[in-house]
Amino acid sequence: MPSVYIKTYGCQMNVRDSEAVAAQLLARGYTLATSEDQADIVLLNTCSVRDHAEQTALNKMRSLAADLRRTGREVILGFLGCMAQSRGEELLQQLPAVDLVLGTQKLHRTADYLDELLRGVRTKVVDTRPEPGSESAIREHLAAADGSAPVTAYVSIMQGCNQHCTFCIVPQTRGPERSRPISDIVAECRQLAARGVKEIMLLGQIVTSYGRRPGLNGRPGWLGAGEAWPQPQTVSGSELSPFVRLLEAVHTIDGIERIRFTAPHPKGYGDDLIHAYGRLPKLVESAHVPVQSGSNRILKLMRRGYTRERFLEIIRKLRAVQPGIGLSTDIIVGFPGETEEDFQQTLALCQEVEFDQVFLFKYSPRRNTPAASMPDALPPTVIEERHARAAELINAIARRRYAAMVGKTVQILVEGPSKKNPHRMMGRTRCNKIVVFEGSPRHRGQLMDVRIVRAGSYTLYGDPAIVGLVPEEPPLPGADKRDKVSHPVVL
């Protein structure tokens, strides 16, 4: 059977989509090639969020096409995902060597279309039409290379976004919000747990809006067909949102030790979700709260739907519930009309919050978005210069926060060999910090306590803490007990 190589650009949602496509192709008898040079089919799963991501994939395809012309090899070339969705047919005109262009709601049809191309039933396929129910089609998972289950599994809970931030192309590429039923998601997580998965990462473009839009027949979007209409549920005076109901449902699954999610929107951090951090022990102490800017004027132009003050209130409340919580954010510098004063407010917000990690982006105009035609676009030199200043501050703060972990004993979930040094193992703290330590592949999938001995750049180095031999560290002020619970470790 033909072999396929899939290259993925962009976010975790794309990684998940590629995994589901690969699993689907394997089930059809295709094999997975380890490099593009050996493959009969090369698929690029693309990202559109910034121009740079699109150009990288376009250049890659150009160079693949040039190689094929030179060598005369017959290889099927395809674009999948966000750029395929937003550019469609136009990609074939730009790159005539491309055979397949499949949008974000058509990924589950990849095997069908490849079959048709291979049999010569068609010579080109472009399909970017919406497909009702496609949000539930991303469900197959792959085993690791050695056949074992992954430690962490990504589970797609919804597709699309209705927020329409003025800079963002995602609502165009991923379509409107569509959620899978809770019962469906739980069934998938149970199967994963049965295969040995320890951690679930719930994924979607705006997961905190999970289930908010009506599903088919006007029923709640998170209710399966034939399931009884649910009663409102209230905990500590807050009515639970569908997303928190989903967290509770996944929380009941035996074998799942940790739950994470991405990507959320600040407006989704209502009291119900904030309290969930205090009452659901498997929900790790880590929150991504994408602020984008510290200036109310810019937040309004971005149509983000919150103010700087409301954002800071969310952070205060999260830290009141979990003082040691790991906090990350997304920031865009150089949005049209951003003044030095607006930028200073973003820097001041970073100083005030002290994020553990910031994903910092230079504003990139996207087609058919309101921001792309706003006045006062900034010159690239100003954007570069602000980016460098922001990066310096953000890295200095992160260095301090990482250094403050030295000497502490923390629980990690061991994911596998370290990417930089495969002779060492790597795990993640509940607060989402990477810890590298001397271990063996036997530790994979284990929860273990390590004592942090050194901090590098966005990496901690640890020593496995042998229970009873390591003196107890004084707790972080108000730190949750779970960080210090010892787990038996096979050494």
Q: How far is CA 431 from the centre of its chain?
A: 16
**Residue 458 backbone class (left: φ over 0; alpha: ψ -120 to 50; beta: rest):** left
| 156 CB-contact burial (10 Å; exposed 0-12 / middle 13-18 / buried 19+) | buried
Q: Per the omega criterion (within 30 degrees of 0), is the bond before 263 cis?
A: yes
Among 61, 126, 203, 206, binds ligand F3S (CB under 6 A): 206
Query: Exactly one of 126, 170, 283, 315 binds ligand F3S (CB under 6 A); which one?
Result: 170
The mark string for 241-280 relative to ligand F3S (x by CB under 6 A, - otherwise) is ------------------------x---------------
Does 205 participate in binding ligand F3S (rule CB under 6 A)? yes
Instruction: Report, in Å, the least distance between residue 281 CB and ligand F3S.
Output: 29
Q: Which is nearer to ligand SAH, 11 or 299 (CB)?
A: 11
Q: Which two tokens mark 234?
A: 């209230």
Q: What is d(CA 459, CA 403) in angstroms, rounded to the nearest whole number?
A: 10
- Rounded CA-CA distance 237/235 in Å is 5
The verdict on 58 binding ligand F3S (CB under 6 A) reads no
Angle between helix 110-119 and helix 12-27 axes, rounded to 10 deg: 50
Q: Which is nearer to ligand F3S, 262 or 432 (by Cβ)?
A: 262
Residues 295, 308: Cα–Cα separation, whole Å: 7
SS3 content of the chain, % helix, strand, coil (to 5): 35, 20, 40
Q: Does 459 contact ligand F3S by CB under 6 A?
A: no
- The DSSP bridge pattern shows strands 258-262 and 357-362 to be unpaired
Give yes or no for residue 164 binding ligand F3S (CB under 6 A).
Answer: yes
Residues in 49-78 that interact with ligand SAH by CB under 6 A: 49-50
Contacting range for ligand F3S; rule: CB under 6 A; set: 70-78, 112-120, 163-171, 312-320: 163-171
Q: Please report how close the Cβ of residue 152 comes to ligand F3S at its closest, in angstroms.
A: 22
CA distance 249 to 252: 6
- Binding to ligand SAH by CB under 6 A, coded x per residue (else -) over 336-365, reads -------------------------x-xx-
Least Å distance, CB 195 to ligand F3S, is 31
Residue 156, contacted partner among ligand SAH, ligand F3S, none, CB below 5-8 A by kind: none
What is the dihedral sign for C-alpha 352, 358, 361, 362? positive
Q: Which residues bind ligand SAH (CB under 6 A)?
A: 11, 13, 49-50, 167-168, 170, 205-206, 263, 290, 292, 330, 332, 361, 363-364, 366
Residues that bind ligand F3S (CB under 6 A): 161, 163-165, 168, 170-171, 205-206, 265
